[in-house]
A and B are shown apart, each in its own frame.
Chain A
Amino acid sequence: MTVSAELELQAFVLLRLGERRFAVSANQIAELVAPSRVFRFPHRTPKLEGLILRRGRIVPVCDVSEALLGKRLTSRRFYLIALRNYGTQREWIAMPVTGECELINAEMMAAVESDAPHVAGWLSHDGEVIEVLNLDTLTPGPEQAPAEPGARQSAEARP
């Protein structure tokens, strides 16, 4: 392998949702945690199940299975905690996943115009072609919200 080829390799975390595998850039992943209590309260944002408490932080649980598989997961084993960009801000989100995750190094092929917005690119691993996910378009955020005054509230650290 030449040096230039090595440099093109990037680290990805492979996650399993049902029977399918997807990839997320490893630099967006914080940790993989065992299922914990999900706190629910009234809200109107689709695809958000509730919240988990992790290291003193309140982390929203975003179920991406319906968007990716067309159905909701019935069994889940872990939460993959990832960083999601909201403009200049970054926050943790928790994604329920079915199986254990794997860290790999692979070369990513960039997405093309005809790919779905949630596809950041493609990689080939173990004879399988795997979608690399763009979490910023896959999970809910202010850019998908109906335009309303004050919908984008700045982070509050009171009292």
Chain B
Amino acid sequence: MRLAAPVKASPAKTEQIILFRVSGQLFAVSSASVQEVRSADSMSGAAIEISVPGLRKVRHVVRRGDRSLFIVNGAMHFGLHAAEGALLFVLRKTRTALLIDGIEKMTTMTRLQALPLSFCHEERQWYRGLTALDQTVVPVVKPEGFLSPDELALLDAALLQTDNFAAAALEGADSA
């Protein structure tokens, strides 16, 4: 007689996350979404100023080969009190480098709850959902939610304009 194989309890799926702060507020991001963590100072030398009216959260861009990374001030993005920002998260599969105050810790979440449907404005683009950790609720950010396609188009146009000005200035200097 054959006995039925014992049913194994499937282990709960988990996801590694980084808890970070922006203007004192706690957020989480999937660690798989973070390509690099850099100090803001280390990027400042390579950063070019950029200005787009109505898009104050992006003031700088960093060139990496043929790619441009837009530095998004996390505090301005979330409408929090302006903070200097000490660290940058270069977010994978995006053109965003997110300026944050600091990292709290790395941990694991076992459950991501959808954002309740009562939340019905821009925050639905900002967050993947919410997770409860140590009796605290933490919003889990969506890496692609920091810059919308429209905002990226505006930034690209401003960048092109900046490049054209620089090229024209260089040409003027050469001919003089």
Q: A residues engaging B (CB < 8 A)?
A: 39, 41-45, 48, 51, 53, 56-60, 62, 84, 86, 89, 91, 93, 139-142, 144-146, 148, 150-159
| Minimum CB–CB distance for A128 against chain B, Å | 30
Q: Is the CB of B137 within 8 A of A53?
A: yes
Give B106-139 as 1s and 0s: 1 = Cβ < 8 Å from A's Cβ atoms. Answer: 0001001111111111111110111010011111
Among A60, A152, A159, the residue within 8 A (CB) of B116 is: A60
B97 to chain A, nearest CB (A): 19
Known interface pairs A45-B121, A45-B123, A148-B125; 9 further A-B residue pairs with C-beta atoms within 8 A, sorted by A's residue number: A42-B123, A44-B121, A51-B130, A51-B137, A91-B118, A93-B116, A141-B118, A151-B120, A158-B128
Pick from B114, B117, B125: contact of A157, CB below 8 A. Answer: B114
Show 12 residue pairs from A and B whose CB-CB distance is below 8 angstroms, ordered by the A residue. A43-B123, A44-B122, A45-B123, A51-B116, A58-B130, A86-B117, A140-B119, A148-B125, A156-B112, A158-B13, A158-B128, A159-B112
The smallest beta-carbon distance between A58 and chain B, in angstroms, is 5
Contacts of A139 in B (CB 8 A): 118
Q: How many B residues have CB within 8 A of the partner chain?
A: 33
Q: Which residue of A lies closest to B138 (CB)?
A: A41
In the complex, are the beta carbons of B121 and A58 less than 8 A apart? no
Nearest 4 pairs between A and B by C-beta?
A145-B120, A42-B78, A44-B121, A43-B123
Q: Which residue of B lies closest to A43 (CB)?
A: B123
B25 at the interface (CB under 8 A from A): yes
> Closest residue of chain A to B142, judged by CB?
A153
Q: Are A62 and B121 in contact (CB under 8 A)?
A: no
Report which of A41, A44, A53, A154 forms a contact with B132, defined as CB distance below 8 A. Answer: A53
CA distance A86 to B14 in the complex (A): 29
Given A42-B79, A151-B124, A153-B124, are A60 and B109 also a contact pair (CB < 8 Å)? Answer: no
Q: Is B80 engaged at the interface, CB distance under 8 Å to the other chain?
A: yes
A131 to B33, CA, bound (A): 49
Contact B119 A48 (CB under 8 A): yes
* Given known A-B contacts A150-B125, A156-B114, A159-B13, A45 and B120 have beta carbons under 8 A apart: yes
Asked whether B137 lies within 8 Å of A39 as measured between CB atoms, the reply is yes
Cβ contact within 8 Å between A159 and B14: yes
Contact between A156 and B128, CB atoms less than 8 A apart? yes
Are B120 and A42 touching (Cβ within 8 A)? no
CA distance A57 to B78 in the complex (A): 24
Least distance between A48 CB and chain B CB atoms (Å): 6
Question: A140 to B115, alpha carbons, bound, how many Å?
Answer: 13
CB proximity of B157 to chain A, nearest CB, Å: 21
Rounded to whole angstroms, the CA-CA distance of A84 and B120 in the bound complex is: 14
Distance A118 CA – B79 CA, assembled complex (angstroms): 30
